[in-house]
Structure 1
Amino acid sequence: MSTFFAELLGTMILILLGNGVVANVNLNKSKGKGGGWIVVATGWALAVAIPVYIFGPISGAHFNPAVTIANAAIGNFAWADVPMYIIAQMIGAIIGACLVFLHYLPHWKETEDKATKLACFATGPAIPSTIGNFISEFIGTFILVFALLGIGNTVMVDGLSPMVVGLVIWVIGLTLGGPTGYAINPARDLGPRIAHALLPIPGKGDSDWKYAWIPVVAPIAGGVVASLIFAAIF
């Protein structure tokens, strides 16, 4: 059960800090309002690195169903443990999103735009395009998984690899994040989207379920393809 709770708590922290930075720069009357994309990308990078430092030795710090499935696809992870990891990741993501809601509790009423509120939970396309958005999430997750496998295959000074993982998230956000908000993680998007649908957020609008399948399916596909290519090369 230690691996279950490591994945749950790690994903919870990831979402709390990651969606927390989105809320910080977007919600009205937040002191971080207007911080911009570089702040968001940096916040997300550290939001991933911190729980990797904490829980990496326990569970491997997947925090992402695409990473879990990709590793299982090439024999680096037992298929029997995949459901447990994904359930833990989803629960953690939902709890993390609820904590973001509570942390910024007075600010939801002060923010009128429904899309801005949803963005504090789930991703969405800058330009709606089923094919284009799918490709964007596929490529982003391909780079993520390929890089993670490479990091795992590289000898580093103890304690360095989690920060390198954070740098991978940072560069993906800075370079590839614009079209869709770089979910690159089904739990990161679906868990908070479920929380958005259930929470009593004032004037929240709908949860954009018509788009929700893309940040679930595309990252899984991109991650599996990345792992298969990596395994074929290395």
Structure 2
Amino acid sequence: MSSSDIFTSEVLGTMVLVLLGGGVCAAVNLKRSKAFGAGWVAIAFGWGFAVLTGAYIAQSSGAHLNPAVTLGLAIKGDTKWSDVPVYMGSELLGALIGAILVWIVYYSQFQATLREPEAVEQKNANPGPVHGVFFTSPEVRKPFLNFLTEVIATFVLILAILTQGLVKDADGTVGLGKLGALITALVVVGIGLSLGGPTGYAINPVRDLGPRIVHALLPLPNKGGSDWTYAWVPVVGPLAGAAAAAGIYNLAWG
């Protein structure tokens, strides 16, 4: 598979992943949304369906959609290391675009929420009042424990992907097939319900970093800070979890 094919597939797939995933967070958290207050179960299933849709769109590149997946497959030996920068760069770009689309779709709801008196009072908060639409933050701020939570949650995700039986195309591309995409989506729902409570389960560096950058740049009134002091946790944690899962896989079944 050419670099341009990887780029197109991963940008579009990750864009839709973040659009739908960020979209469910916006739907649940922003005022004047019909789904306002729908709760954590809606968010967990929304992210699962986001993964499923993005994976189907990006099947031609193996549907990584996540630098942690790319790293895990590279360590396992299913993805060439020379392709890793293309995958990761494409995934980050797709996440940036997806976050911008969430802002466009929910523009009126952002305005309604951020012009409320309580949002004005929190305008200097870090993280800001609508941060949950864009990026994760912990309920209890203990960076090392938050880091371990992301490591463990991502370990589960990557081990589930590596052990389910990946599909290899004629050109050598390895990734999720149709059934694998469904299984992975259900795993993501399970992780959200079981392990998502402490940190909001990034389990994907670009799902957090891309929208965090967009939050920092968008002209949202009273949006507050983007919590950059915490930003390393949802980036480094998932990568460490992926490396651990791929290492265990190679030791056990490689």
Are the aligned partners of 2:153 and 2:203 in contact in 1 as well (CA < 8 Å)?
yes
The aligned residue for residue 202 of structure 2 is: 183
The aligned residue for residue 137 of structure 2 is: 124
**Aligned partner of 1:29 among 21, 29, 32:** 32
Letter paired with 2:252:
I
Cα deviation, residue 202, structure 1: 1.5
Cα deviation, residue 109, structure 1: 2.0
Q: Which moved more, 1:7-16 or 1:71-80?
A: 71-80
Cα deviation, residue 116, structure 1: 3.8
Q: Does 1:230 align with 2:230?
A: no
Query: Structure 2 regions of 5+ residues with no counterpart?
Result: 123-127, 168-176
1:85 and 1:159, CA in 2 relative to 1: closer, same or farther beyond 3 A?
Answer: closer
Q: What TM-score, normalized by structure 1, do the two folds share?
A: 0.95
Cα deviation, residue 22, structure 1: 0.3
Are the aligned partners of 1:109 and 1:203 in contact in 2 as well (CA < 8 Å)?
no
Q: Does 1:143 align with 2:163?
A: no
The aligned residue for residue 174 of structure 1 is: 193
Are the aligned partners of 2:129 and 2:224 in contact in 1 as well (CA < 8 Å)?
no
Cα distance in 1 for partners of 2:186, 2:250 equals: 23
Letter paired with 2:56:
Y
Are the aligned partners of 2:99 and 2:214 in contact in 1 as well (CA < 8 Å)?
yes
Cα deviation, residue 74, structure 1: 2.3
Letter paired with 2:157:
L
Are the aligned partners of 1:27 and 1:116 in contact in 2 as well (CA < 8 Å)?
no
Letter paired with 1:80:
S
Cα distance in 2 for partners of 1:147, 1:120 equals: 27
1:80 and 1:9, CA in 2 relative to 1: closer, same or farther beyond 3 A?
Answer: same
Cα distance in 1 for partners of 2:178, 2:149 equals: 31
Cα deviation, residue 76, structure 1: 1.4
Cα distance in 1 for partners of 2:251, 2:185 equals: 26
Which structure: larger Rg?
2
Q: Does 1:212 align with 2:231?
A: yes
> Which whole-Å deviations, capped at 9, do the CAs of 1:1-20 have from their partners, x for residues lacking one?
11111000000000000010
Q: Which moved more, 1:78-87 or 1:110-119?
A: 110-119
> Which whole-Å deviations, capped at 9, do the CAs of 1:134-186 have from their partners, x for residues lacking one?
010000000000001112259xxx73221111100000000000000000000
Cα distance in 2 for partners of 1:78, 1:188 equals: 23
Letter paired with 1:69:
L
The aligned residue for residue 92 of structure 1 is: 94
Letter paired with 2:184:
V
Query: Structure 1 regions of 5+ residues with no counterpart?
Result: none
The aligned residue for residue 171 of structure 2 is: none
Q: Does 1:12 align with 2:6?
A: no
Indicate the SS of the match to 1:127: coil
The aligned residue for residue 133 of structure 1 is: 146
Cα deviation, residue 67, structure 1: 1.0
Cα distance in 1 for partners of 2:50, 2:43 equals: 10
- Structure 1 moving runs of 4+ over 4 Å: none
Structure 1 vs Structure 2 CA RMSD: 1.3
Percent identical residues? 49
Letter paired with 2:212:
R
Letter paired with 1:67:
V
* Count of matched residue positions in the alignment of Structure 1 and Structure 2: 230
Are the aligned partners of 2:19 and 2:101 in contact in 1 as well (CA < 8 Å)?
yes
Q: Does 1:202 align with 2:221?
A: yes
Letter paired with 1:231:
N
